[in-house]
């Protein structure tokens, strides 16, 4: 079952974009091959070619020395390839069992016995360490669970090559562990794996080899990562040295801008209180499920509050909807930007201007095209959004560049007072993170009060003036920048051991 996968001189052009330009590298069996590169570097495009969704304009794919052609997704599957894409496509009404057996065993007619099919699926899922109801409808599953179903499908088909495109970007810590174990098992079982991620830790933890793309070209392939420094990979990715990605400069905080007192509501386990001053960046850290996003939605009026008070610049305010919040200069850029924010059929410019345009209406009625174009172009420049123009449909942008455009939408609001950012750099490459931090600092310089939720501890430590930690639905502590380090923050975030809980 051995397979060596080789990409040979692959090229792909879209209107106005050379997505891949003469890319060659090899993936060996029994190895996890990392693929890294900035947003828009061409990583997903390569996997779509491997998966038979796009045809390359030039070059060829070889398996075990033989050239293969994938004119369709089915052809790629037939050749033993499984690609788990960045954006999963699924039919919400299918059950887990139907989905798995439909794709996996198309020619087996023996599955009329539904009970037996379910039992078979239950056993396979259990063997993978995945706790899932075979009867559950796909539409009811979390992204992580749907991803597990996809991987399980690849296993059932006995795929020889398995490619994963940013699989952990929406997984919790625990789900990530399950995934990593699966990847390890697959490697031990002599499959060839391709793994795309923007998270350097994961690349070092999982991958044997690594290839780096920049602007559609391969800039480096490392057959082993043992002696390769992180800085080397970062500079290969971005084409320049980034000495300190956080580039934090202390600022003087002003008066209290946002004061949250005893806010209550589902699923918080205790009333929550905190303050953010003008020009201050407060990081919110916690494990997935600690209640950080939910607390922010209670403040923002997009979740129903049961009690508590919110003040802005010393005056108590009522916020019952996002519209009310925005009209007071409070914005929340949600975690699930894709599902909550994107207007896929609209252009990059429309996606950026959709909220702020009401301020620029001419005669209170007509869109101010000139102003909108300026706003869009300024954010495309500021965040280095990779697009042929502001008129490009947003769905043609790479995953990370879509994120940047949606982030711009909130930052484009004039007169911002409070900015709440939920995982602002998820899916965003190292170089662009740097740019996003600079935008956050600029907002703080202008006197905005900033709340930044992040699950990446180095980011929270690197960017925040102060850190609030949440654990299991309550605020468990607060640390000044000078007191905060990995240990002190994790100490407040991790579940208390049962003995201390009893003592308390
Ligand atoms: N269907 C398409 N039509 C037009 N342009 C496209 C299409 N698909 C991708 N592109 C462009 O090709 C380039 C490479 O995109 P790709 O999605 O491969 O990047 P990526 O490396 O996966 O980035 P990310 O890390 O943000 O996911 C981008 O500039 C993107 O806008
Ligand atoms: Mg991608």
Q: Looking at 172-176, 313-317, 404-408, 488-492, which range is the least confident one?
A: 172-176
H or E stretch covering 432: helix 430-445
What is the pLDDT, as a whole number, of residue 107? 46
Instruction: Give the whole-angstrom CA distance, residue 435 versus residue 245.
Output: 9
Instruction: Give the whole-angstrom CA distance, residue 329 versus residue 313.
Output: 11
What is the pLDDT, as a whole number, of residue 153? 84
The answer, yes or no, to whether residue 262 has pLDDT greater than 70, is yes
Q: Is 100 exposed, middle or buried (0-12, 13-18, 19+ CB in 10 A)?
A: buried
pLDDT tens digits, one per residue of 456-485? 899 999 999 999 999 999 999 999 999 999
Predicted confidence band of residue 498 (pLDDT cuts 50, 70, 90): very low
Ligand 2 centre distance from Cα of residue 40 (Å): 7
**CATH for 254-329+416-504, options being 3.90.25.10, 3.40.50.300, 2.60.40.1170, 3.30.70.20:** 3.40.50.300
Ligand 1 centre distance from Cα of residue 455 (Å): 26
User: 396 CB under 6 A from ligand 1?
Assistant: yes
Are 454 and 461 in contact by the 8 Å Cβ rule? The answer is no
The token pair that represents 269 in the structure block: 């386990």
Q: How many CB atoms lie within 10 A of CB 402?
A: 25
User: 399 CB under 6 A from ligand 1?
Assistant: yes
User: 462 CB under 6 A from ligand 1?
Assistant: no
Ligand 2 centre distance from Cα of residue 154 (Å): 20
pLDDT tens digits, one per residue of 291-304? 999 999 999 999 99
Percentage of the residues of the chain whose pLDDT score is greater than 90:
60
The token pair that represents 287 in the structure block: 């494990």
Pocket test for ligand 1, best of 45, 195, 383 (most atoms within 8 A of CB): 45
Torsion over CA: 246, 211, 163, 93 (sign):
positive
Instruction: Give the whole-angstrom CA distance, residue 249 versus residue 457.
Output: 18
Mean pLDDT of 486-494: 92
> Rounded to 5 degrees, what angle do the CA atoms 342, 343, 344 make?
95
For the chain, domain boundaries = 5-238, 254-329+416-504, 342-414
Atom of ligand 1 at shortest distance to CA of 403? 26
What is the pLDDT, as a whole number, of residue 282? 98
What is the pLDDT, as a whole number, of residue 319? 94
Which residue's CA is minimally distant from atom 6 of ligand 1?
396
Instruction: Give the whole-angstrom CA distance, residue 225 versus residue 229.
Output: 8
DSSP-based three-state secondary structure for 210: strand
What is the pLDDT, as a whole number, of residue 260? 98
What is the pLDDT, as a whole number, of residue 103? 52
Are 271 and 307 in contact by the 8 Å Cβ rule? The answer is yes
The answer, yes or no, to whether residue 501 has pLDDT greater than 90, is no
Ligand 1 centre distance from Cα of residue 14 (Å): 9
The answer, yes or no, to whether residue 196 has pLDDT greater than 50, is yes
The token pair that represents 344 in the structure block: 């896929």
R_g over Cα of the chain: 24
Instruction: Give the whole-angstrom CA distance, residue 93 versus residue 352.
Output: 33
User: Of 85, 91, 19, 101, which is closest to residue 50 (Cα–Cα)?
Assistant: 85
pLDDT tens digits, one per residue of 90-131? 788 888 888 888 754 444 555 556 777 888 888 888 887 778
The answer, yes or no, to whether residue 2 has pLDDT greater than 60, is no
Pocket test for ligand 1, best of 384, 398, 436 (most atoms within 8 A of CB): 398
Strands 192-196 and 31-37: parallel
Percentage of the residues of the chain whose pLDDT score is greater than 70:
95
H or E stretch covering 2: none
pLDDT tens digits, one per residue of 21-49? 999 999 999 999 999 999 999 999 999 99
Question: In the CATH hierarchy, which fold is given to the domain comprising 5-238?
Answer: Rossmann fold (3.40.50)
What is the pLDDT, as a whole number, of residue 212? 96
Respond yes or no on whether the N-terminal peptide bond of residue 454 is cis (omega within 30° of 0).
no
Which residue's CA is minimally distant from atom 2 of ligand 1?
396
The token pair that represents 81 in the structure block: 């390839």
Pocket test for ligand 1, best of 11, 34, 35, 44 (most atoms within 8 A of CB): 44
Q: Looking at 162-166, 340-344, 449-453, which range is the least confident one?
A: 340-344
Instruction: Give the whole-angstrom CA distance, residue 406 versus residue 349.
Output: 10
Which residue's CA is minimally distant from atom 17 of ligand 1?
398
User: Of 427, 438, 267, which is closest to residue 342 (Cα–Cα)?
Assistant: 427
User: 169 CB under 6 A from ligand 1?
Assistant: no
Predicted confidence band of residue 339 (pLDDT cuts 50, 70, 90): low
Pocket test for ligand 1, best of 23, 397, 403 (most atoms within 8 A of CB): 397
Residue-averaged pLDDT of the chain: 89
What is the pLDDT, as a whole number, of residue 155? 81
Which residue's CA is minimally distant from atom 18 of ligand 1?
42
- CATH topology identical between 5-238 and 254-329+416-504: yes
Mean pLDDT of 266-291: 94
User: Of 44, 26, 141, which is closest to residue 85 (Cα–Cα)?
Assistant: 44
User: 42 CB under 6 A from ligand 1?
Assistant: yes
Ligand 2 centre distance from Cα of residue 344 (Å): 16
What is the pLDDT, as a whole number, of residue 504? 35
pTM of the predicted model as reported, rounded to 2 decimal places: 0.81
User: 301 CB under 6 A from ligand 1?
Assistant: no
Strands 281-285 and 449-453: parallel
């Amino acid at each position: 079952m051995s397979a060596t996968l080789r990409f040979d001189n692959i090229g792909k052009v879209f209107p106005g974009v050379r997505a891949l330009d003469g890319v060659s590298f090899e993936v060996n069996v029994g190895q996890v091959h990392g693929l890294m590169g900035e947003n828009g570097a061409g990583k997903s495009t390569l996997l779509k070619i491997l998966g038979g969704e796009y045809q390359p304009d030039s070059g060829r794919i070889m398996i075990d020395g033989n050239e293969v052609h994938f004119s369709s997704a089915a052809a790629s599957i037939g050749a033993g390839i499984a690609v788990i894409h960045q954006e999963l496509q699924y039919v919400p009404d299918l059950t887990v069992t139907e989905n798995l057996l439909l794709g996996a065993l198309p020619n087996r007619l023996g599955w009329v016995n539904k009970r037996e099919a379910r039992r078979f699926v239950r056993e396979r899922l259990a063997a993978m360490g995945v706790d899932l109801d075979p009867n559950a409808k796909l539409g009811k599953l979390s992204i992580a669970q749907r991803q597990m179903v996809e991987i399980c499908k690849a296993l059932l088909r006995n795929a020889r090559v398995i490619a994963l495109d940013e699989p952990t970007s929406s997984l919790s810590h625990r789900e990530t562990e399950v995934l990593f174990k699966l990847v390890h098992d697959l490697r031990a079982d002599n499959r060839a794996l391709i793994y795309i991620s923007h998270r350097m830790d994961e690349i070092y933890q999982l991958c044997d080899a690594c290839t780096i793309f920049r602007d559609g070209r391969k800039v480096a392939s490392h057959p082993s990562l043992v002696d390769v420094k992180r800085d080397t990979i970062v500079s290969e990715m971005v084409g320049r040295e980034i000495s300190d990605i956080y580039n934090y400069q202390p600022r003087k905080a002003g008066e209290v801008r946002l004061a949250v007192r005893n806010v209550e509501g589902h699923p918080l386990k205790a009333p929550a209180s905190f303050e953010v001053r003008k020009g201050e960046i407060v990081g919110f850290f916690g494990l997935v499920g600690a209640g950080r996003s939910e607390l922010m939605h209670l403040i923002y009026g997009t979740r129903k509050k049961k009690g508590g008070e919110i003040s802005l610049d010393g005056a108590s305010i009522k916020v019952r909807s996002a519209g009310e919040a925005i009209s007071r200069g409070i914005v929340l850029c949600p975690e699930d930007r894709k599902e909550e924010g994107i207007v896929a059929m609209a252009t990059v410019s429309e996606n950026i201007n959709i909220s702020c345009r009401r301020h620029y209406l001419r005669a209170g009625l007509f869109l101010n095209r000139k102003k909108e174009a300026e706003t869009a172009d300024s954010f495309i420049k500021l965040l280095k959004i990779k697009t042929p123009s502001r008129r490009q449909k947003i769905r043609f942008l790479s995953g990370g560049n879509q994120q940047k455009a949606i982030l711009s939408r909130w930052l484009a609001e004039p007169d911002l007072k409070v900015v709440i950012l939920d995982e602002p750099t998820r899916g965003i490459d190292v170089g662009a993170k740097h740019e996003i931090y600079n935008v956050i600092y600029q907002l703080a310089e202008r006197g905005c009060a900033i709340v930044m939720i992040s699950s990446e501890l180095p980011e929270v430590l690197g960017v925040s003036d102060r850190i609030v930690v949440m654990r299991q639905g309550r605020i468990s502590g607060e640390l000044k920048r000078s007191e905060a380090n990995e240990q002190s923050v994790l100490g407040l975030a991790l579940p208390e051991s049962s003995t201390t809980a009893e003592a308390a």
